[in-house]
Amino acid sequence: MTELDGHDLFTALGLSPIAAPSTPVVSPSTERTPLYASGRELYAGRPAISVQVMQPGHIPTVGQICLDEGLAAVLTSGTRSDPIRTIGDQVARLREVARDVTHTLADANRYSGVGRVSGVQNLDVGWVDAQLNLGFEYALTDSPYIPERDFAAVDSILDQVSRMRRPVIAALPIANWWLRDARGRTTLLERINRAAVPVALMVEHAKDPMGVVDVVRGLVAILAAEPPVLLLRSDLSAIGACAYGAVGGAIGTTTGLRHIYPKPKLDKKGGGYRDPQVAVFVPQLLAYMSVSKAADLAQHPGIDKFLECACHRCNGLGVEWITEEVVAFDHSLRAISTFAMSCLGTLKSPQETKAGWSRALELAQHKHLDIEGTTGVEVGIPKFFGAWRPVHATGE
């Protein structure tokens, strides 16, 4: 296994000038390049924040976001597709816009859906080589889902990666028990340190795994591992993870890519999980909100100031204008990129980045309460606000 060197700084994130929301997104003629700082990185030059995408039609937009904002991409295979057969097409679509795919990761996604693979399974070295042959700096394993207390599955994945002797990241799609339970997190940390290979966590939960205090505590504990740790398939908590030592985090373009859903229970018609309605990120609230709720809130006097966004798409408008899924995630990822830079800042110490994340959540919570007090409409404060607070309060 190739050892990783240098865990000093995150790469710079390039932020593009603002464009009118009605115009197509194009490459900026000039770029701003604020430093996105942390104490660790996977390797020199890799962006800390990635966009996780599955739908082929969404990839060109993701490529443009990555090009404009200095982000990386995580290409995710469909649960019914052959990853090796589809990765070439996905990369071709991304390369047409983003040009450089060096920092791309590819998620085989064997761990989700009705027919997900779980437990002890052989990893496909051919899948690893396919990624490296496409020019990726690192490959991500096609790992199975790891149920709670399945210690053998964890050992199997890490042992196989240790023997691959390639630049590989061990994907660990885990039940949230591994972070929530004291024994689970302690064992997982020991196994990761013993294997001495970089790992990428993807966490299962019916809603938001980072909305559970003990899951966040467990995540922070794992981020102290000696090898680099990434948090994939996440939402805004990817920024919090980076503040606490993750070498990278990936934010999904759609709700279904922001955590692992529990295995679907088929109904009588053979159906399973249905992706909920389109959600849009509201920068001042640091929260995703359904486009219908955003539109409803905008009708109340004095609320428009809370919905304003200065991203490449919105150009100062309120997010209530957004109704379509691609526009929603395009706006959301650009706005989140700006937040990542402003929250974690340039060349700040780990203590400052943690404090910045905590302060941002506290301010956003006050704005939620202001809206509710003004309109009488329950906005719904995200649970991850409260789950991260005790971690910062106790200095973990």
**pLDDT per residue as tens digits for the range 92-105:** 999 999 999 999 99
Q: Report the distance separating Cα 202 and Cα 111, nearest Å.
A: 10
**Segment 357-374 mean pLDDT:** 95
Contact 277, 314 (CB under 8 A): no
pLDDT at res. 343: 76
**Segment 277-293 mean pLDDT:** 94
Give me the residue spans of the domains in the chain.
Answer: 49-257, 279-393
- Largest Cα–Cα distance in the chain? 62
Q: Which helix (H) or strand (E) holds 132?
A: helix 125-133
Does position 22 have pLDDT exceeding 60, yes or no? no
**Segment 320-345 mean pLDDT:** 91
Name the DSSP letter for residue 145: B
Give Cα separations from 205 to 216, 240, 375 (angstroms): 13, 18, 31
Contact 254, 275 (CB under 8 A): yes
Q: What are phi and psi of 288, to 5 degrees?
A: -85, 145
The residue among 346 and 48 whose pLDDT is bigger is 48
- DSSP-assigned beta bridge partners for residue 391: none
Does position 272 have pLDDT exceeding 60, yes or no? no
pLDDT over 90, % of the chain? 75
Does position 267 have pLDDT exceeding 70, yes or no? no
Classify domain 49-257 at the CATH superfamily level. Enolase-like C-terminal domain (3.20.20.120)
Does position 318 have pLDDT exceeding 70, yes or no? yes
Contact 289, 279 (CB under 8 A): yes
The region of weakest confidence among 6-20, 72-86, 285-299 is: 6-20
State the residue for tokens 């989140």.
336
**Segment 225-249 mean pLDDT:** 96
The region of weakest confidence among 54-58, 155-159, 238-242, 267-271 is: 267-271
Contact 313, 19 (CB under 8 A): yes
The residue among 396 and 53 whose pLDDT is bigger is 53
What's the whole-number average pLDDT of the chain? Answer: 87
Q: Report the distance separating Cα 20 and Cα 354, nearest Å.
A: 34
Does position 68 have pLDDT exceeding 80, yes or no? yes
Does position 270 have pLDDT exceeding 80, yes or no? no
Does position 262 have pLDDT exceeding 90, yes or no? yes
Strands in 247-362 per DSSP E:
248-252, 279-282, 287-290
pLDDT at res. 27: 37
Phi-psi category of residue 302: left, alpha or beta, with phi > 0 → left and psi -120 to 50 → alpha = left
